[in-house]
């Protein structure tokens, strides 16, 4: 297995201004010079964490998805982040996963943020999405999912008896007031699942006057912080080493003692 190059884009967002966000993010993505496999954008990167999907949501054939496909093909990278999607008269906070050939996968946010009334506007997902990149298995999640460890908990693959995934990605609009929980839970998810964790959050004040400090992080499988950035915009590429993950799992085979369970649907 090869090392995995992941690029984090931590940025302020223009409130409910799709055109401005897509233009700004395109400039940042096209300016990436380093080798990278995956470019990761925050939650609801085209709008901010807005509760007006009735006005702003797009279809899977809409402008934002076409923008993602074009950029992924042009830069020969995987591009991911979440957007508002309307489908069959339902609205979803949907993480989109676009491959360099333009093919798409997606994950609908399972845990909707009731405190912010997200559950009054969006429909929850009921299925995890675990994807493969260069021999890595990657579990994709969105923001509030981070507070619910069972949803992310490793289970063993039925075919190989090995852990289901090697990397957890969380895209977020997580407020600065609860940044301690964000940082702590990212570390916890890495330790308990013996995997790398990448958390990508926005910075700046949103349209509800809620400030976001970023705190985007990359965590190693022992819970060590490999990268962290507060308050500032950044475009950062991190190399995740598969040999390190394999060594940790071999030296500390804790997952073999884990409880078996079936995820709720």
What mean pLDDT value characterizes the chain? 96
Long-range CB contacts (within 8 A, 24+) of 56-60: 56/16, 56/18, 56/84, 57/84, 57/85, 57/86, 57/91, 58/83, 58/84, 58/85, 58/86, 59/85, 59/86, 59/87, 60/85, 60/87, 60/104, 60/106
- Which residues are known catalytic residues? 43, 109, 143
- pLDDT tens digits along 114-163: 999 999 999 999 999 999 999 999 999 999 999 999 999 998 766 767 89
Q: In percent, how much of the chain has pLDDT > 90?
A: 92
The mean pLDDT value for 184-192 works out to 98
Question: Which CB contacts under 8 angstroms, 24+ apart, belong to 24-30?
Answer: 26/67, 26/71, 28/235, 29/71, 29/75, 29/79, 30/71, 30/74, 30/75
Domains and CATH numbers, the chain: 4-257 (3.60.110.10)
pLDDT tens digits for range 201-255 = 999 999 999 999 999 999 999 999 999 999 999 999 999 999 999 999 999 999 9
Q: What pTM was computed for the model?
A: 0.96
């Amino acid at each position: 297995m090869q090392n995995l190059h992941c690029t984090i884009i931590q940025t302020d967002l223009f409130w409910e201004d799709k055109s401005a966000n897509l233009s700004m993010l395109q400039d940042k993505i096209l300016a990436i010079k380093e080798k990278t496999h995956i470019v990761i954008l925050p939650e609801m990167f085209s709008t901010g964490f807005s509760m007006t999907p009735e006005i702003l949501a797009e279809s899977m054939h809409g402008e934002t998805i076409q923008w993602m496909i074009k950029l992924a093909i042009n830069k020969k990278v995987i591009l991911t982040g979440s957007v508002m999607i309307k489908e069959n008269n339902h609205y979803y906070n949907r993480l989109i996963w676009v491959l360099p050939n333009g093919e798409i996968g997606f994950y609908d946010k399972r845990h909707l943020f009731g405190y912010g009334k997200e559950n009054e506007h969006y429909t929850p997902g009921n299925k995890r999405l675990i994807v493969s990149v260069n021999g890595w298995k990657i579990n994709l999640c969105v923001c509030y999912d981070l507070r619910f460890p069972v949803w992310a908990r490793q289970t063993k693959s039925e075919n190989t008896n090995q852990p289901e995934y090697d990397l957890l990605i969380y895209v977020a609009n997580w407020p600065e007031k609860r940044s301690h929980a964000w940082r702590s839970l990212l570390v916890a998810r890495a330790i308990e699942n013996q995997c790398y964790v990448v958390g990508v959050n926005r910075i700046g004040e949103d349209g509800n006057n809620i400030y976001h400090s970023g705190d985007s992080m990359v965590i190693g499988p022992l819970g060590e912080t490999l990268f962290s950035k507060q308050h500032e915009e950044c475009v950062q590429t991190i190399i995740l080493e598969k040999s390190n993950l394999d060594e940790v799992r071999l030296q500390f085979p804790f997952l073999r003692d884990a409880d078996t369970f079936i995820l709720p649907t």
